Amino acid sequence: MTPLIILTLVLLWQFVLAGYTWTLAGNAADEAVRQATAAHPYDRQNVCDEAGKDKLPDAWVGDAEVECTTANGYVTARVILDVPVLFPGAIAFPFEVEGEAGAIEEDDGLTR
């Protein structure tokens, strides 16, 4: 019975890590798009990348991919994180979790 209990706990912990990774990806995308909408268009990708990775824990930041795009005044941020196996910072599953967010580009009043 003990191995079954341990296996159940390990699986539950893995589901918690997957859910936490999903939450981190969504929050990082929100932060990236929030900062990118206020940034100058020439510096938008750098600001987006920094803001998306800024609040991520160290174990998730290493392989994080942050990408921002702008089309018709709408800024979209996409963050891709690896799901760790049992311990963050160790090995990761071969699938990724993606978070996306979007916002209208802010007008600085100088471009008209």
Third-level CATH fold of 2-104: Nuclear Transport Factor 2; Chain: A, (3.10.450)
Dump pLDDT digits (tens) for 41-92. 777 888 888 888 888 888 888 888 898 888 888 889 999 998 888 877 777 7
Domains in the chain: boundaries: 2-104
Grade residue 19 by pLDDT with cuts at 50, 70 and 90.
Answer: very high
| pLDDT attached to residue 104 | 86
With a cut of 80, say whether residue 94 has pLDDT above it. no
Phi, psi at 12, each rounded to 5°: -60, -45
* DSSP per-residue codes, 6-32: HHHHHHHHHHHHHHHHHHHHHHHHHHH
Q: Is the pLDDT of residue 40 over 70?
A: yes
Listed residue (31, 5, 19) closest to 103, CA to CA: 31
For residue 88, give the 3-state DSSP assignment: coil
